[in-house]
Structure 1
């Protein structure tokens, strides 16, 4: 038998005053009123004193007083919720993991998987006795320690009440690391944001996982002293059609021509037919019917005519078991010109590539001599961030500007080093996944001589030669620096222009220069709004002259952001799915969207097993070891006692005089 206190201390104090008040009522001094009657004999029982005649008089034996006090005692006992458990285990140590990822919002069980998991967790907490201890961790893409190890059931229930589902993807590994650090000797938690965990003694513990099982593969993880138990939530036959990708892009030749692309997948257990509807700021644009079998996906394409900025929404016209992936957002940021400054002693191939019709549409190009770096005009525009991209051909500034840069045959003034000059450089590897290197075939180019590059921490190698990296990209406080380890053109002995490579006569050269202008200059951002995952922190770059901007959230509310050096600002509250717009006054600067876009999370049919490292978690029913409650029977007895008290009082006042 154990008890679950249901009241706070002050509430118990008020309850304790009730029996004292009842006793005090029996100490009330009787006030007599003279009544003239023919005879008082018949009224003897009626006027029998139920109260004392003077204060501090000894109480008589009184059945009513006993019944009233017994009723209050039974009511107080019922509030303690006495009961017993089906399991005889005691002294348990438990780690309770609650899945709060997006798939737990599925409604194949009512009201939702997350709410059902909370109900089962509440039962588990109620099943604890005084010798048990537990901690509660909610997890999505990162763990959230709701309550450290405690034997206080009230604290655990209060922490459980604060738990809420998220729109994020699932990553249970960090939560497992946090749990394993509590049960295994010589381990500490490596998970993020779990510094408030109180690491207990290295004792065995039971790990209860309340989840739909959509946690992905967890390999090479040793649970040690943890014994995993999996409580599956949800149905294996849940249905879900999901939008797993959605984007829009302008035609570089004609920016008013827009192409929108989407991918629809059937990630449920039954064939489905839906209509995908495309709207712009609530106005209908186009629609397409989709019919898919389980596991299939289909791509959609929409051709649009949009001259200015726009917010696009794609929605599926059906109600399935997961709503968050039935809508997706993208957008087109306002078109703006890119300002590019080229500092060069003379480079005809570079100038020709930058002045192609496609490149010229990106914005303003200005060519200056290296001596321009010594002027006050340059120093001011470099400090103000007036340019989006500065190209340094065989020259370098004293300090780095507030702009992205491209160094050709030279190095930035800090954090970069070059190896010895080598001859006959051959390209052996290219990072084709990076936007700068797309659509390029570079293995046939010839390079007379060049130097290998070593950049700051985090530098990304885009082109590798037989000697080492010769094209690399590094981030710098919101800007990016591209360094090419060889010259394109140089000056010959007779003062003419000589070439160090045959790259300018290859088809890939103008494409490469165009990619650099789009990516480093920021023109690539004008094609479509970038999309982020829920909860993902992002960095926004505004115009350098701005110190404050307004961010409009999907709810319609606005938040003021302070821009730092170079117009850079950060934002992390991206939990809500939808469109975010950045304004300077009434002028739209840019936009971005937040979408789920995760096929693993949208694949919602629940699983019956979870593989954790080298073992399979034991699957148990959620109702196992249910607590048997006794308070209802006690409360019923108290009510019967209350009826008995009323009958006793009634017989004493009315029945007895009648008999007399």
Structure 2
């Protein structure tokens, strides 16, 4: 036996004081009496009982010393030699994923199954505890029932593993660590959690993995069934739930409308009638009444005209206990007009472009213009700035430092990683990149390509990439610089009837769409809860402002930008997040679109799992030894109290 607090044995010095009190005798006081014979019988009786009195005083002394010994041994925190005991290493994995926020009714799972109609009409008053609360109660039972020889580790699991406490044998530490666990809206990854448990118990003789979860739609059972070290404790019995699995918006510029897509699924065992409410910036746009059979999904499409953009919210008005998947958010980007400037040697060459751009008037800013090269070079620098600058058969001396470029049959700028080669008299198409957005809907095989300049690329993608190649070299090349993109056509698109082909406006629209992908698509449309938000392109600013709501309160945060990138990780709460990047607003959303988290049905075999839970509780003789010493001292104190009040040890 070893002792965690050996200094407690110094308290045995109190025994000397206890013994001294029993050794001291009370001195008799002389007293004059009128008649001595009356006291003779009393003195004789007192002498006869003196031996019994001494025994009673010795019994009291013995009890007091034993009480002291029990308290001292309890304070010394004794421990047994664990070499001959089966020491188990328990890794308790607490599921804190999104489905653990589901509220459970105040009746058992069996009652809920028997009263299906009543369960379908469950009110909020009947929803008492969340699955997370039930899990915390089960974890407290495990801690209180832990065998003293076993060590225990607590970890919170979702899409990541958070260690709440390493392996310890102190119940107070375990209970304090348990209080730090908090529910999240993240998804659960059982395989990752199990891999962590295997790693931290490597080298342990008797590892046991304890998972307290709602089952993650049976995924935990699949992972743990083949592992004899695993025990699974199920919490929760609610099965009825409607959940949103997809919600997105897409702007159709050719039709001038916004297409919105929503997908909802009934994960329960009964039909569900519900309302779908679509709102823009908090203002309701549409309300639809729908009904879904059990296990079925519904895809709903909306077509709205939202030129100013905003934040869309889809809400399911349903009484189920899992609210996290009843709301979803999508971002609608506002229509943005672009200033496009065309520079040519003379005005007649611009006519084909004017015709082509008339078919995409929804893209053009009223400040778009056509200049001859002399007029363009005479402009002030701010007046030359445009979203897209097209140069045809002429290259200005000073190109704008901002905005994207389309160069057509011009000399190569010095900053491009390419060199000029011999002209190609009759270009024959060899191949083209069919995956690139510039070549979307294009078939160059049948196009009459005019005489072209020869170029050679001196960099690899994405900095320089050949999009269309002839047998003699590239005819269309894309270049990406730090702050803009450049498209180079080695031929004059106004020659050989090319402008009159349908391909000409398509090529121009595709080029603008390629630039737009760089400018507008700065953030992914949606993120999972807990995921980090990063920009898709490089950020020029030194700081980025993000605005969002947390617990109903508006929050603002400045993010530092390093090497053109920033990271925002405070995405635990679903909702809309607005970033101000390089003077423009870019929004994204955080949504729980996860089938397994929305499927609340508990796994089968719950009775066996509950018996496993009882098996894991420590027996009476598997608690820490100090508890027994303290209990022994308490029992002796009660015995001494009873003996004293019955005048046995007075």
Q: TM-score, normalised by structure 1?
A: 0.64
Greater fraction of residues in helix: 2
SS of 2:184's equivalent in the other structure is coil
Q: Secondary structure at the match of 1:164?
A: coil
Deviations 1:623-642 (A, max 9, x none): 33221246799887766655
1:432-447 alignment to 2 at 5 Å?
A: 436=437, 440=441, 442=443, 446=447
1:429-578 to 2 correspondence within 5 Å?
Answer: 430-431=434-435, 436=437, 440=441, 442=443, 446=447, 448=449, 481=485, 487=489, 489-490=491-492, 497=495, 505=503, 508-509=506-507, 511-513=509-511, 515-516=513-514, 518-522=516-520, 530-539=525-534, 549=545, 551-555=547-551, 556-562=553-559, 564=561, 569-578=566-575
Quote the offset at 1:473 in angstroms. 8.0
Question: CA, structure 1 residues 348+554, in 2 after alignment: closer, same or farther (shift >3 Å)?
Answer: farther
Query: Taking structure 1 as reference, are residues 100 and 537 closer, same or farther at Cα in structure 2, changes over 3 Å only?
Result: same
Shift of 1:170: 3.1
Shift in Å at residue 267 of structure 1? 2.3
Aligned equivalent of 2:159:
141
Find 1:593's aligned residue among 582, 589, 594: 589
* Match in the other structure for 2:576: 579
Checking the alignment, whether the CA contact within 8 Å between 1:581 and 1:588 is kept in structure 2 is no
Question: What's the CA shift for 1:324?
Answer: 0.5
Matches within 5 A, 1:105-120: 105-108=101-104, 111-120=129-138
Aligned mates of 2:575, 2:339 — CA distance in 1: 31
Instruction: Report SS of the residue matched to 2:614.
Output: coil
2:363 aligned residue: 360
Map 1:299-318; keep pairs closer than 5 Å. Answer: 299-302=299-302, 308=308, 310-318=310-318
Q: How far is 1:122 from its partner? A: 5.1
Query: Aligned in 2, Cα 1:545/1:163: closer, same or farther, shift over 3 Å?
Result: closer
- Name the structure 2 match of 1:328: 328
Deviations 1:214-254, CA, capped at 9 Å, x for gaps: 38989xx9999x86525153467622101122234556478
Which one of the candidate residues 179, 182, 187 is aligned to 1:161?
179
- Is it true that 1:622 corresponds to 2:613 in the alignment? yes
Structure 1 residue 165: Cα displacement: 2.5
Once the two structures are TM-superposed, the CA of residue 553 in structure 1 deviates from its matched residue by 2.7
Query: Against the structure 1 CA distance between its residues 205 and 502, is the aligned structure 2 distance closer, same or farther, given a 3 Å change threshold?
Result: farther
1:323-402 residue pairs with structure 2 within 5 A?
323-333=323-333, 336-339=336-339, 352-361=355-364, 365=368
Higher CA-based Rg = 2
SS state at 1:312 partner: strand
For 1:269 and 1:399, the matched residues in 2 are separated by 66
* CA deviation string 1:98-137 (max 9, x = no partner): 4332223334588344444455455555666566555554
Residue 278 of structure 1 contacts residue 313 of structure 1 at CA under 8 Å; is this kept in 2? yes
CA distance in 2, matches of 1:355, 1:361: 9
1:606 to 602, 608, 619: 602
CA displacement, residues 128-157 of structure 1 (integer Å, 9 cap, x when unaligned): 656655555433223334445566666555
Question: Does the aligned pair in 2 maintain the 1:98–1:210 contact within 8 Å?
Answer: yes
Alpha-carbon distance in 1 for matches of 2:595, 2:466: 29
CA pair 65-404 structure 1, distance change in 2 beyond 3 A? farther
Asked if the contact 2:433/2:439 (under 8 Å) is kept, the reply is: no
Matched position secondary structure for 2:576 = strand
> Is 1:425–2:429 an aligned residue pair?
yes
CA offset digits 1:602-651 (Å, max 9, x no partner): 22323459xxxxxxxx9983333221246799887766655444444444
Partner Cα distance (2:579, 2:532) in 1: 15
TM-score by length of 2: 0.65
Q: What CA distance in whole angstroms lies between the structure 1 residues aligned with 2:474 and 2:148?
A: 64
* 1:272 and 2:276 matched: no
Shift of 1:77: 7.8
1:132 to 1:115, Cα distance in 2 relative to 1, 3 A: same
Unpaired stretches in structure 2, ≥5 consecutive residues: 43-55, 110-127
In the TM superposition, what whole-angstrom CA distance separates every residue of 1:504-553 from its partner, at most 9, and x where no partner exists? 5367435424533543342x78xx99322212222358996785635233
Please say if residues 408 and 492 of structure 2, whose CA atoms lie closer than 8 Å, have aligned partners that are also in contact.
no
Shift of 1:320: 2.0
Change (3 A) 1:644 1:177: closer
Q: Which moved more, 1:327-336 or 1:468-477?
A: 468-477
Mapped contact 1:418–1:454 kept (Cα < 8 A): no
Cα distance change on mapping 1:640 and 1:324 into 2, 3 Å: same
Equivalent-residue separation in structure 2 for 1:119 and 1:282 (angstroms): 39
Distance in 1 between the 2:225 and 2:463 partners? 36
Q: 8 Å contact 1:232–1:608 — kept in the other structure? A: no
The answer to whether the 8 A contact 1:349-1:504 is kept is: no
Structure 2 residue matching 1:319: 3-state secondary structure: coil
Is the 1:140–1:170 contact (alpha carbons within 8 Å) kept by the matching residues of 2? yes
**Distance in 1 between residues matched to 2:148 and 2:387, nearest whole Å:** 65
Matches of 1:76 and 1:369, distance apart in 2: 101
Contact (CA 8 Å) 1:489, 1:498: kept in 2 or not? no
| C-alpha distance in 1 between matches for 2:378 and 2:33 | 126
| Distance in 1 between residues matched to 2:225 and 2:484, nearest whole Å | 42
